[in-house]
Amino acid sequence: MATQIDPRESRQTQLNKGIAELAILLLLKKRAHYGLELLEHMNGKAGLEIADGTIYPLLHRLERAGRILAEWQTNTPNGRPRKYYALTSEGDVHCTDLLNAWRRLSSGVNHLADGEKND
Amino acid sequence: MTEKENNHAVSIYLRRCRWALSALPAHDIDEIIEETRSHILDRIDAGASVTDVLSKMERAEDYASQFIKEHTAASAISSRRADALVSALVTNATGNVLATATLVGLFVVWAFALLFVAVAVMKLFNPATVGLWSGSDVFFLGVIDDPATANELLGVWIFPISFGLFAAAWLVTRRAAMWALHRLIGAV
């Protein structure tokens, strides 16, 4: 049986994936985080609805691209090792570029939306 | 579910992930599995049921394929080898318009180049009837039945042209595949 995909959900998922990179870099700009912590920030206040299975491949990709650094820490509250991610200087520059691109994009879309309202 | 059943369900999921990740270096697999285990157990500690946690993760095979695709693309870019680059594009082609379009484009380029090479090879054995033919109602590359009915345009130039097209196809493959894979890796 073919899987039914809600087009709205699919669009939302694609958009969220695109924004997820920026969200991760912005969070890591403040301090190092581990995967679940990043996910909870993104899905909490930001409401990005990133799936649990999506975040680690994305972190892996950013790590390989040299934008973030990973380090295992064992002195965690529950004693379970966690992999913490921190922003590299290259990631910092990339984050600024992405943020500027995002601001231009959202400003353009807002401009169009406002224009449509006024028409 | 009892704790034993929970542990069993988590173990099965992680074993399937490990199996699906087997194309990656052992160190990478260990890191991914350990991080995934830590994530699942943290969720369970926070009060979620194992069923809920595992349903929020993707199927083990789908989860693993995201790492494999990225790894294949990154390794191919590092190696800069045309075969590795094309192989990475094929791996990424499923569900990806950019990779599929690049592969289709490369297929057309190679079909054109190989056609010229094949005709050049045939011309070595049968120079009188093989070439690029132009007549009153014909224009084609290949073998003609009666050479008196059309003019052959390339002559021996077909050999350097074929070599040039082959080299160009090779360069285009590397450039296009590198460009597409860079975009695929960057497009997150």
Q: What is the pLDDT of residue A2?
A: 39
> Quick one: tokens of A36?
């679940």
Across the interface, of A56, A61, A62, the residue whose CB is closest to B36 is A56
Helix axes A89-118, A7-30, angle to 10 degrees: 130
The residues, any chain, with a CB within 8 Å of residue B92's CB and separated by 6 or more, are B69, B72, B73, B99, B181, B184
Q: Is the dihedral of CA B42, B45, B46, B52 positive or negative?
A: positive
Residue A6 has pLDDT above 60, yes or no: no
Residue ranges covered by each domain of chain A = 9-118
% of chain A with per-residue pLDDT over 70: 82
ipTM, two decimals, is 0.79
pLDDT computed for residue A4 by the predictor:
42
- Indicate the domain borders of chain B: 1-57, 72-188
| Chain segment A107-117, per-residue pLDDT in tens | 998 888 887 66
Q: Does domain A9-118 sit in CATH 3.30.930.10? A: no
Residues 169-188 of B with CB under 8 A from A: 185-188
Nearest CA in chain A to B182: A65
Joined together, the tokens standing for residue A51 give: 């799936």
Structure tokens at A79: 């004693």
Distance CA A29, CA B127 (A): 69
How many angstroms separate the CA of residue B155 from the nearest CA in chain A? 50
Question: Which tens digit of pLDDT belongs to each residue from A48-89?
Answer: 888 898 899 999 989 988 899 999 998 888 888 899 999 999
Q: What is the DSSP string of A74-118?
A: ---TTS--EEEEEE-HHHHHHHHHHHHHHHHHHHHHHHHHHHHHH
- Integer CA distances (angstroms), B178 to A113, B2, B85, B185, in order: 37, 50, 7, 10
Touching check for A21 and chain B: CB below 8 Å? yes
Confidence label for B136 from pLDDT (cuts 50, 70 and 90):
confident
Cα–Cα nearest to B48, from B4, B13, B1: B1
CB B140 within 8 A of CB B130: no
Q: Hey, what are A108's tokens?
A: 């353009």
Q: What is the pLDDT of residues B13-27, one digit of tens each?
A: 999 999 999 989 999
Distance from CA of A103 to the nearest CA of B (A): 18
